[in-house]
Structure 1
Amino acid sequence: MKMIKYIAVILFALSALSCKTEKQENGKLNVVTTTTMLTDLVKNIGGEHINLQGLMGAGVDPHLYKASAGDVTKLSTADIIFYNGLHLEGKLVEVFEKMNADVVTQVPLGESLDKNTLIGSDYFASNYDPHVWFNIQYFKQFAGEVLSTLSRKDPKHAENYKANAEAYLKKLDTLEAEIKATIETLPKEKRILVTAHDAFNYFGKSYGFEVVGLQGLSTATEAGVQDVQRLSQFIIDKKVKSIFVESSVPRRTIEALQAAVQSKGNEVTIGGSLYSDALGNSGTEEGTYIGMFRYNVSTIVEALK
């Protein structure tokens, strides 16, 4: 057993050494991100001047994500780690705490937000809803933090980072104008969003939707029979036309809710699958933050009309 542990340590050290050598050869910062939303953001600002690695892929639930041995190597040999914080990546906290702060710069982007503006939560140790990327204004603040950090760590390319950030912020402005126009086509009384878990509260607050999730803020919690029955009656009372599954949450939770509504002699359709805690597949429009947001809004509005 001791020999196995020793070999593991040696392999880790060799892996770390190879990563550092790569960085020294190409002269770029090694940057690691956790969620797909942050990977897309940092990619847009860092561009070709950084070595970027995202830990999580499409459809991955950050609430339940555990670091693999390969992830630990990436994190340990990074110059900068950008993560959401606010206890979203709950199972990675212990790994972050073991990182050498003098060697690896850790940036929990959610912690930079004004806590007085955040939505409270009893489900998280931070007592805040961590799904802050569904407020585009918050995501713009994330962009500012990323720009500041990259420029400080790599002043040689500060002007490049600034230009990239300014261009991306303009795209976010355009996105927000588009989705507001789309939402305006949906009557206010129909703006009721029922999903698998409470990931869309910031979206609802920003755009005037009443949001109800079958599970709590974290997918680590399970919806019980009483939750299903309570929400099914809500759907009937409010005459909700459609409910939504989420890409990072098992479909069966919403199907159980649909069945409960039907058992009471009423109908509700599944209006589509929304991207909540992760983006779509890499290389697709929904694999970007902007494309994901545009797709979600279009799906919601069309299903609820």
Structure 2
Amino acid sequence: MRILRRSFMAAALAALASTAAPVLADTALKVVATTGMIADTARRIGGDSVDVKGLMGPGVDPHAYRQTRTDILAMTKADLVLWHGLYLEAQMEEFFHDLEAKGNVVAVTDTLPRDLLRGHDDYADKYDPHVWMDPRLWVFVAERVQDALTQARPEQAAYFAENAEAFLADLNALSDYAQTSLTSVPQDARILLTAHDAFGYFGQAYGFEVMGIQGISTESEAGLNRISALVDMLVDRQIGAVFVESSVSDRSIRALVEGAAARGHEVTIGGELFSDAMGENGTYEGTYVGMIDHNITVISRALGGDAPVRGMADRLSAGT
């Protein structure tokens, strides 16, 4: 199967080299982005000058995602391909390195200062890729996307800069909201337990102890010993809420809740968080700002903090 995928990719790249027509300056820049977070950032900064296709929609796990034939064709025909890097798209890395020799391909985390990154729990030479959980780190990504768009269309640099400035203002407002809401959570309640370790940067930024049943990658397995140890921790520390994730099965989280109940300790599910994918397309939660606003609001309220029901901009869906 691997040989077939490689052969198809090679054929697609060869066809592109021989048939692609030059892009006209007055046509939208065709951009393909892997994750929803990158796609939304490209749309915010590119505005009407870009046509962005996101490969991974709501509920999709980027750690396990493999490119389809449709994806390959879209990327080989794109003017610009934006991928995350930091081993997030683990199954696609070889493809992107091959594609770099043929087209305009940018890993949007490649300019992030390495001293701001967390080490990967499974690979000594890699980093935790979930940098979008801290809007202050996402600033570096936004600036990298702006640079990539500007290099592709230098004549529209001023337009991209204006859009980027507005987006960065939103990121600053998001950071301020997070600081205000999350610091209202009582100190002894600042424990965030989720399905996999996607919230490390969140915890680092806002002073939460973060635990994942699985490791940084959803490819790692949660054994019975891990589940048992976490049940003990829930009971011993009297933790009252845990969280499910939109892109990861809730099976292990529910096993924790049941295990604690069997020990006489009630644990509730505090809500569903967006970890590796955003909300539904066309919704506020389906934007980067809305995704993080949702997470901040749900976590704050579930753990005893003070946050408005509909988030910082009064735009979250009812019932959040």
**Please, what TM-score do these two structures have when normalized by structure 2?**
0.87
* Residue matched to 1:67: 67
- Cα distance, 1:257 vs. partner? 1.2
- Supply the RMSD in Å over aligned alpha carbons: 2.5
Indicate how the Cα distance of structure 1 residues 125 and 75 shifts in structure 2: closer, same or farther if over 3 A, else same: farther
Q: Which amino acid letter does the alignment assign opposite residue 270 of structure 2?
A: G
Runs of 4+ in 1 over 6 A off after TM superposition: 8-11
Contact 1:194 1:211 in 2 (8 A): yes
- Aligned position for 1:247: 246
1:288 equivalent to 2:287? Answer: yes
SS state at 1:31 partner? strand
CA distance in 2, matches of 1:11, 1:110: 29
| Structure 1 residues 126 and 31, CA gap change in structure 2 (3 angstroms) | farther
Tell me the residue number matched to 1:192: 191
Q: How do residues 79-158 of structure 1 correspond to structure 2 at under 5 angstroms? A: 79-101=79-101, 103-124=102-123, 126-158=125-157
Equivalences for residues 1-305 of structure 1 within 5 A: 12=12, 20=20, 23-24=23-24, 27-101=27-101, 103-124=102-123, 126-305=125-304
* Partner SS for 2:211: strand
Report the CA distance between 1:154 and its aligned residue.
Answer: 0.5
Secondary structure of 2:175's counterpart equals: helix
User: Residue 275 of structure 1 aligns to which amino acid in structure 2?
Assistant: F
- Distance change in 2, residues 1:296/1:9 (3 Å): closer
Higher helix fraction (1 or 2): 1
Following superposition, the deviation at residue 293 of structure 1 comes to 0.7
| CA deviation after TM superposition for structure 1 residue 230, in Å | 0.5
Superposed CA deviations along residues 10-68 of structure 1, whole A, max 9, x for unmatched, are: 99589959x95595495332211101111111110011112211111011000000100
In structure 2, list runs of 5 or more residues that go unmatched. 305-320
Report how far residue 94 of structure 1 moved. 1.6
Q: 2:109·2:140 contact (CA, 8 Å) conserved in 1?
A: no
Aligned-partner SS, 2:81: strand
Q: Distance in 2 between matches of 1:195 and 1:20?
A: 45
Determine if contact 2:181/2:300 at 8 Å carries over to the other structure: yes
Q: Is the contact made by 1:186 and 1:301 (CA closer than 8 Å) also made in structure 2?
A: yes
Partner of 2:316: none
Identity %: 39
Offset at residue 98 of structure 1 (A): 1.9
- Normalised to the residue count of structure 1, the TM-score between the two structures is 0.91
Q: CA deviation at 1:79?
A: 2.1
Give SS of 1:111's match.
coil
Number of aligned pairs?
A: 300
Report the residue type matching 2:207 in the other structure: G
Deviation at 1:126, TM superposition (A): 4.2
